[in-house]
Amino acid sequence: MPKRFRLTRRFPVAMTEDGYRRLKKFAAEAGLDEGEALSFLFEHFDSVINQDTFAHRLRLFNSEIDARKR
């Protein structure tokens, strides 16, 4: 029997404009709303990311995040 899909948590999220646009595009392509799309991505995080490039991309993002806040 499939598990019932329930949204049990709501939280304020700050996102970059680029990240939000990409989330909206992904959600639309998948036929989901933004919250459902985020739930899918995090529930299947290990199978969705590319392990070979993840650490490098994270380092780049962290090095640029302060400049993006200004």
Neighbours of 33 (CB within 10 A): 13
The residue type found at 53 is T
Is residue 69 over pLDDT 90?
Answer: no
Confidence of residue 54 (pLDDT cuts 50, 70, 90): very high
Contact 13, 39 (CB under 8 A): no
Contact 30, 40 (CB under 8 A): yes
What are the structure tokens assigned to 30, written together?
Answer: 């998948």
pLDDT tens for 16-49 read 899 999 999 999 999 999 999 999 999 999 999 9
Reported in sequence order, the residue ranges of the chain that DSSP labels E, i.e. its strands, are none
